[in-house]
Structure 1
Amino acid sequence: MKNIVFIILLVCLLPSSLLSQGYQQYNHYIANQGLLNPAYNGTRDVISGLMTHRSQWISMEGAPMNQAINVHGPVEDTNIGLGVVLQNDAIGFSNTFDAMVAASYKIELDNRGKRWVSLGLQAGVTSFIFDGTKAITGDWNDPVFQGRTSTVGFNTGFGAYYYATDYFVGFSIPKMLSQSFDENTNEFKNKFDFQNMAMFLYGGYVFDWEPVKVKPTLLFREVYGAPLQFDVSCNVLLAETIWVGMSYRSTSNIVFLSEFILNRQFTLRYSFDYALNSLNQFSQYGSHEIGLQFDFSFNKRPGMRSIRYF
């Protein structure tokens, strides 16, 4: 019965999703800034990498599932940063895979190394596969569901990132091209469409509240013609090794966040989010996200976690 309900929900939502530029959703969006904003790549002092897996709406067939890898670092003795972003997004009958190369350039604002602005670009390819034959629909003549199609096309994005010792602000459009269904040709096409771009504006602050550190953050996501979405979070650092926190998403989700600093090189993250709306009747086990971050240096400086805590 749950699977039938999910198919009904998916078919109802699919037309609007095909006409909008989707982008992966992560609970630890601040820790995943390299995926969200190309300008973030290379802003840390070490070679930094991240692996993330997210399973959404556990127990529902065809529910969203995401995997991502981001590796980035600075080019020695320059203000240039480089990064690689790989993301896989599966939902229902569709699968999207992005492979991007990012580059950033940092500009020092105060001559003391305490305030910087970074501008970034990324470019690569997006592969999109849609298998409409798996759909259960009453309209047998709907061309969207009459076959399996795939497209591979160029994609690009940009971003800006301003940061200091204890706060940061970022803006990005990670993907400027989208896969939209063309009713004239009955095919999916990769095309530039401002109305389908996902835009992100986010920021945060880290302050001392002895004996702990507190990190409130806020993220806005905007797609033209869709309601403005936001995430508001707050994390607390305990004993310099464990972050715990909570987040609220405007789509009516509550999120429990945790982060474990294993040592100077590795950090493990886990989060659980649960729908507060009627969706929880069909996804009683919520959504789960796990990630592993590593920090290394190829010179004599030891790998370490950024003093900025973001």
Structure 2
Amino acid sequence: MKIRKGIQLGALLSMVILSSSDMYGQQDPQYTHYMYNTTNINPGYSGTRGVLNVFGMYRTQWVGLDGAPQTANISIDTPLGDNGLSGGINYTNDRIGAMSENNFSVNLAYAVDLNDDFKLSFGLKGTANLLSVDYTKLDIYDPNDPTFGENISNKFNPNVGAGLFLYSDKAYVGVSVPNLLTTDRTTGEEGFELMRQKMHFYLTGGYVFDLNPSLKFKPAVLVKTVSGAPIQVDLTANFLIVDRFTVGAAYRWDASVSGLVGFQVNDGLFIGYSYDADTSKLSKYNSGSHEVFLRFDLFNKYNKVSTARFF
């Protein structure tokens, strides 16, 4: 019975997403390890590690719920010389129900020194979105409805975004809007509105406290807001042990609690995992969410890292 209810709920979730012309909910993928995946939401983060940074992540959400979100992301960013310019690219595949989106982004950032400790980076993002919908995966009430008569294959939509990132070796604050343009997705001969992509506003912040020579405390916060949906707040508390092992917990307001672990394999490779336990009404129909990532740091000939960075 539980499995059957999960399938029904997954189908209902897909139908709501695909058939509501006035839906303004949270649309961007969510990440528990947002503090390491910052270029995806803020182009101003590009190049701030001072190295060639390669990041890969996979997230499967609400395991056991039919049609639940699955997200894969890879990003690369690096300084472009020693003049403050940096660049990067992002690719994200986000699947939910009958819908699949591929996002390709290019980031450009410029950082200036504010004082001996802090820098401010200005970033711009250009994005190409390709949307596909396979209506055969849905149990459609009226098979003759022309709205669902033809699948959508790689429907193209461009967008632009911007962000600011203020940082030092121990602290950071970022504000960003990854998609500044509101875009309508239509399908069918009559231009049925499939969905509307709204602006998402992000605020991120974090700090590294040295508790003793072998232990650091790394709190972080992410606030996301979009018109028509409640504000989403993520609070995270990580502890870094002997600069190698990371263990922590997180709370997503009215949504989930999480456990996070990470391991610095060597100077260039960091791996991590998190598990989210759902605290919403959907907890009856899923067994939680999993997220894994790899981060590679390669020294850049223009700007070698002189001090450790912890975010």
TM-score normalized with structure 1 length: 0.89
1:196-235 Cα shifts (integer Å, max 9, x gaps): 1111111011111124100111111100121111101100
Question: What corresponds to 2:110 in structure 1?
Answer: 105
Q: 1:281 Cα shift?
A: 1.7
Which of 174, 185, 210 aligns to 2:178? It is: 174
Q: 1:9 Cα shift?
A: 3.7
Change (3 A) 1:48 1:293: same
Change (3 A) 1:305 1:241: farther
Query: What are the ranges of 5 or more consecutive residues in structure 1 without an aligned counterpart?
Result: none
Alignment of 1:116-135 (within 5 A): 116-135=119-138
1:261-285 Cα shifts (integer Å, max 9, x gaps): 000010001111010223122112x
Change (3 A) 1:80 1:290: same
Change (3 A) 1:306 1:226: farther
1:161-201 Cα shifts (integer Å, max 9, x gaps): 0112311100111123455344883356898x7xx111111
The separation in 1 between residues aligned to 2:302 and 2:223, in whole angstroms, is: 39
Report SS of the residue matched to 1:138. coil
Question: What corresponds to 1:80 in structure 2?
Answer: 85
Change (3 A) 1:177 1:251: farther
Question: What corresponds to 2:229 in structure 1?
Answer: 226
Report SS of the residue matched to 1:236. strand
Change (3 A) 1:69 1:220: same
TM-score normalized with structure 2 length: 0.89
Alignment of 1:1-310 (within 5 A): 1=4, 2-12=6-16, 14=18, 15=20, 19=24, 22-110=27-115, 112=116, 114-138=117-141, 144-150=147-153, 151-177=155-181, 179-182=183-186, 185-187=190-192, 196-210=198-212, 211-284=214-287, 286-299=288-301, 307-310=308-311
Q: Percent identity?
A: 31
The separation in 2 between residues aligned to 1:82 and 1:173, in whole angstroms, is: 17
The separation in 1 between residues aligned to 2:173 and 2:265, in whole angstroms, is: 27
In the alignment of these two chains, the number of paired residues is 303
- Whether contact under 8 Å (2:128, 2:158) holds in the other structure is yes
Q: 1:140 Cα shift?
A: 5.3
1:90-120 Cα shifts (integer Å, max 9, x gaps): 110111111111000001101x2x1111000
The separation in 1 between residues aligned to 2:143 and 2:39, in whole angstroms, is: 43
Change (3 A) 1:173 1:142: farther
Q: 1:21 Cα shift?
A: 6.7
Change (3 A) 1:16 1:40: farther
- Whether contact under 8 Å (2:82, 2:303) holds in the other structure is no
Change (3 A) 1:229 1:178: same
The separation in 2 between residues aligned to 1:204 and 1:308, in whole angstroms, is: 12
* Greater relative contact order (CA < 8 Å, ≥ 6 in sequence): 2
- Whether contact under 8 Å (1:149, 1:187) holds in the other structure is no
Name the aligned partner's letter for residue 40 of structure 2.
Answer: L
Change (3 A) 1:60 1:177: same
1:10-69 Cα shifts (integer Å, max 9, x gaps): 434552785557211111000101112100001111111101011111122211011111
Change (3 A) 1:127 1:9: closer
The separation in 1 between residues aligned to 2:17 and 2:253, in whole angstroms, is: 18
- Whether contact under 8 Å (1:270, 1:288) holds in the other structure is yes
